[in-house]
Amino acid sequence: MSLTMQEEYLNPGHVGCPGCGATVAMKLALRALGEKTMVVIPASCWAIIASNYPQSALKVPVLNTAFATTGATCSGLRAALDLRGDHETTILGWAGDGGTFDIGFQALSAAAERGEDFIYVCYDNEAYMNTGVQRSSSTPWGASTMTTPGKEWKRTPKKNIVEIMAAHRIPYAATASIAWPEDLARKLQKARSIRSGLRFIHLFSSCPTGWGHAPADTIKVARMAVRSRAFPLYEVEEGMRWTINSEDGHLPVREYLRMQGRFRQLGEEDIAYIQDFVDREWERLRRRAE
């Protein structure tokens, strides 16, 4: 069934920013997974977007947890449901890049090593957006944030979280984008069908507030990230089988960068450096897929 025909599990009245890519991400994810889903959310934008107990913007059960504990909380919740004989409900860990790449990585890595049965989605807006746009290890080289301002932009590359998770030999890891909803739905449903260990989705979620683009351009920016190959779509099975899911055009990375205020301080040499990095990473991915 098309995603446009699926029931909505996100109520009106959430408190996401105008054009929030993370809100679009949750809307699409719950359409794909359906009502038999329990969502674990650590400290993040989504801990605010969903609203405060006893109110919730979501029509499925939500458990808020500490910043560092998404992986552990999902593990415990899965064990509790299994003891009750509920093997149908999907446990969905839903954390930002700060709670995945950085603060929550220890619990995520441990859950992956134990082979826990849940889906973990990192909705990636490439900084600690909820606390004022501070850099994370997901922030790309060249981006300006409150802790890497202006010409003091971030000088280290973004951590490759999918490679790290694939190195755990988990059964399934994939990238996805809010601009490719059918691809996202397929990957989530594939992840749900696998019950032999942790499944990981790295979901690109553009952020007009932190990135400095118009709210109306959220999906366009996400689409350009894929088409410029700054964020390629691919999946990894059992840590070994790599498949590229989209080779949809090849825009110069400049067009993607120039849409965002966080890159306005970059000169031509800086943009050329990023283009070279993107090209080299794409070729490395192609070799793995071959």
Residue 75 clears pLDDT 90, i.e. is over it: yes
- Tens-digit pLDDT profile for residues 102-150: 999 999 999 999 999 999 999 999 999 999 999 999 999 999 999 999 9
| pLDDT, tens only, 208-234 | 999 999 999 999 999 999 999 999 999
Angle at 189 between CA 184 and CA 193, to 5 degrees: 150
Length of the chain: 290
- Nearest Cα residue to 127 out of 8, 241, 21, 254: 21
- Distance in angstroms (rounded) separating the CA atoms of residues 202 and 205: 9
- β-bridge pairing 172-177 and 234-237: antiparallel
Using CB atoms within 10 A of its CB, is residue 1 exposed (0-12), middle (13-18) or buried (19+)? Answer: exposed
The secondary structure of residue 98, as a DSSP letter, is: I
Please choose, from the candidates 11, 47, 48, 3, the residue with its C-alpha nearest in 3D space to the C-alpha of residue 29: 3
Taking the model in full, what pTM does it have? 0.96
Sign of dihedral through CA atoms 182, 281, 202, 95?
negative
Please, which residues have CB within 8 angstroms of residue 173's CB and are 6 or more apart in sequence?
A: 162, 165, 166, 199, 200, 201, 202, 235, 236, 239
